[in-house]
Structure 1
């Protein structure tokens, strides 16, 4: 009863307004397109303006089917809101109205969007009078497809085929709208070309309306395709733009016969020398590589494609071949290369490895090593370079030139290619004496001095000592070719001592002159300089004369001078004391009459001063007397 009353009132109001000739103004504004992702909610806005309030409007929503037929899914007026029950959107839509003075917004929300929801939606707004307007929005929904999968053929493809052959297939699933697949070869897109490229797509749609796309690629292959990479790209639409997915990359096995073979030295990447490990590599222009057979001086080795030669020698030099058989013509396909192994023979010295020369002779010693490359020769002695070139020339040889000489032969072009040889030079001759620093000596009388004599020669010389025509006992040892001899000589007077070195080739000598001196402060029985001869003289005495006694004499003389100066000072001090004493006694300066008579009972006053010298150990006693008693001397 109430509904009929309200309806009657609305009809009456509508009739009244129509009778008065009043027509409301309505304007509707909608977006051309609204996009969303499948399975989510999408909101479609409808904006309107009117000169009547919401209470005087009727709002309806429609969609257009593929044939263009309009289907209402929702209606609302001031008294009711009705959702149609027989549409594909039943139960999945919701309408919200936001009114305001003179304008308003109506929102149609579609829940859980599906592929079939991609239609045109119409929003109709009309007043209770004749004023009305409508707008239209296209709904688009998207679903990203799955990552594409690619499969290549698992068999050999012969490039001689005249027609395109299948390369592989690519597939992507569950996308909306339908995604597209593009094939690539080495980043270059492939499109249908008659007798060259064939791309065949296949589209499947499941019950949910999602699309799966599969594409097969066929190609007329060439030899270069054995190294090519193939992949597919999937392009699809997303909200606000587009997206792209790439598959993995695959290669195909393109087979073709070998009709050319190349052979080269794989390693080392330099000139080859004896002792190297050499690798020869053989490759044909076919695919896959066939088995190869290597041939060297009618010797055959069948391996894959690399021949390893270890510790090569010059005998391994020569022509190497590798060959295979053409799979179609059965002809032999051959490749070859020439291997050369450089060599350096052991060095040889000439004329001999041990040479004995006399002093003053000349030497020309050669060192040669046969080599395939240019060599460089250096002569060394005791680690020091003495000459370059293969000839060692020595003039006027002396003992210092004796020793071991080594020639080192290298090949500058190849590091590590070297050889060496050595010879020993022996120098014969008369003895040589290493002259001492001094042969004229001054030594303290009765002292002992050590004299040394150092000589060399070949054969090893014998050293003897003489003094006053008689042999003197000596000691000696041999170090590094030198004979060192020493004697202990007691200096009893001026004397000469001679050292003689002799061998089968001659003799030589040196003379020491010793002058005996008596130190001023020395007692006759005191030894001022005595040197006890050691069993082995220290190294500092080699080739020198022992002058310890002379040094002691010099040291003793300096001590005597100092003692004399001290003695003089003491005498001056004593003299001053005596004068002062005499002054006090009145012996001088008119004071003699004032002497104390009681002191006459003492025989006399004595002043005694004892002085000792630390160096001479001599005592000096000085006495200064007063008046003498009668009868004293």
Structure 2
């Protein structure tokens, strides 16, 4: 029968495993073994009348002790200690008995950190989802936790399909410590109603006795740009206006950001500031009809308009390198208008090319009266590996960490020869595979092969591993060389005087 023992690593604490002994005779020998992948390995022992000792060359060397109560104590518990431990007791004529304990290790992750994207405000009306939050990151958890997104205190369904209006892009990194760092990026197609929404993320993790616990990030709001639909022009004075008063009128729209405003009195231009028109020490001659004109409107009863821009095809286009793609852009307006294309952004990394372009319709006679639509192009191809750097170790047998970075669409799969402990994570528009293994003689001689592949092809590269070159003081090296030279010349019967 295997019993389960739970250890929490909240403070890198110690953990003790009791030796279950059903025998009543005096114990002669106590041996603790760990079992991994069906193989047992001794980690500590105590002979009759002797002190407990730990074995060298095990994952627990120098971290385990056997107490007077025959328990095994592991110092500074690590995720890699999550194994099955066996206590084996030899009791003379009574024979040999053993008992197994399965150790479970728990580390509570850190509070998630939430950051906004570095880009400008999100424009409402785009054809693709935008990056709402740069990253939600929670570090150092075990077992692997998960991230949940919230909008206005309501959880968002976990969606990874990038064709949906709202989706998440998660990634997991297993650190060298064995702890997990997780992150998630939220993408969505916001509406005007989201201008007052609040977003945050929660890391959910498992603790002993199947307890589900949570830690919440700070809350953020998003900056949205959206067009004006209505405008208002109001008098801010709350009492009847009389001569000598200061009169303030305010013009604003329901769009963001606010447009530029122009003011007129009885058809003649007058100067305002932003959306405010202020008249100081008014006189009877200031009476008249005041009008506010915004860049989106001819006036408050505007009849100038431009229809939405239509682009066909509307779907994002994905083509192979060398293929041809074509779009048509159309619009109508109540006045003479123009249509032109402009490139919004692009990422070019052979063999992957991503580009966003925009078709803009404009009425030149009315500044700011425009309509636009975006299109997206993705060019696919086989993966390509970045030129690898040679890794260095102090000596043969040391642990070495290698990185293999590759571009490609769809994202490539990684294969290492020989293999080790691997983790894969995105970095910008590339994928990076990190692998840790021992620098054996074969690895240092032949290197390690990283292979990447997707449905369009493959690429491979050899990651070299070399010894670090020792740095020698140049002056000492020079003097030593001279000494050897003089000694050799003297032994050969010659005498040489050399000036340095």
When normalised by structure 2's length, the TM-score is: 0.52
Question: 2:196, 2:155 → 1: CA distance?
Answer: 17
Mapped pair 1:75 → 2:8: no
- Check the 8 A contact 2:231/2:251 in 1, yes or no: yes
Q: Cα distance 1:313–1:86, how it changes in 2: closer, same or farther (>3 A)?
A: same
1:315: how far off?
4.6
Question: 1:78, 1:297 → 2: CA distance?
Answer: 110
- Check the 8 A contact 1:114/1:141 in 2, yes or no: no
Mapped pair 1:87 → 2:52: no
Mapped pair 1:257 → 2:227: yes
Q: Indicate the residue corresponding to 1:200 in structure 2.
A: 169
Mapped pair 1:284 → 2:253: yes
Query: Which secondary structure does the structure 1 equivalent of 2:19 belong to?
Result: strand
Q: Indicate the residue corresponding to 2:7 in structure 1.
A: 34
- Please tell me the root mean square deviation across aligned C-alpha atoms, in Å: 3.1
Mapped pair 1:59 → 2:30: yes
Mapped pair 1:154 → 2:119: yes
1:146: how far off?
5.8
1:163: how far off?
1.9
Question: 2:14, 2:179 → 1: CA distance?
Answer: 18
Of structures 1 and 2, the larger Rg is shown by: 1
- Check the 8 A contact 2:19/2:99 in 1, yes or no: no
When normalised by structure 1's length, the TM-score is: 0.42
1:305: how far off?
0.7
1:200: how far off?
0.6
Question: 1:115, 1:232 → 2: CA distance?
Answer: 25
Mapped pair 1:232 → 2:201: yes
Mapped pair 1:167 → 2:136: no
Question: 1:63, 1:154 → 2: CA distance?
Answer: 52
1:228: how far off?
2.5
Q: Indicate the residue corresponding to 1:122 in structure 2.
A: 86
Question: 1:206, 1:137 → 2: CA distance?
Answer: 23
- Check the 8 A contact 1:38/1:114 in 2, yes or no: no
- Check the 8 A contact 2:117/2:134 in 1, yes or no: yes
Structure-to-structure mapping, 1:441-452, within 5 angstroms: none
Question: 1:205, 1:34 → 2: CA distance?
Answer: 20
Q: Indicate the residue corresponding to 1:190 in structure 2.
A: 156
- Check the 8 A contact 2:26/2:91 in 1, yes or no: no
Question: 2:180, 2:204 → 1: CA distance?
Answer: 13
1:253: how far off?
2.7
1:88: how far off?
0.8
Mapped pair 1:307 → 2:272: no
- How big is each residue's C-alpha offset from its partner over 1:389-443, in whole Å with a ceiling of 9 and x where there is no partner? xxxxxxxxxxxxxxxxxxxxxxxxxxxxxxxxxxxxxxxxxxxxxxxxxxxxxxx
Q: Cα distance 1:227–1:121, how it changes in 2: closer, same or farther (>3 A)?
A: same
1:126: how far off?
4.8
- Check the 8 A contact 2:15/2:74 in 1, yes or no: yes
Mapped pair 1:107 → 2:76: no
1:333: how far off?
4.6
Structure 2 unaligned runs (5+)?
303-500
Structure 1 unaligned runs (5+)?
1-27, 99-105, 337-633
- Check the 8 A contact 1:63/1:122 in 2, yes or no: yes
- Check the 8 A contact 1:185/1:229 in 2, yes or no: yes
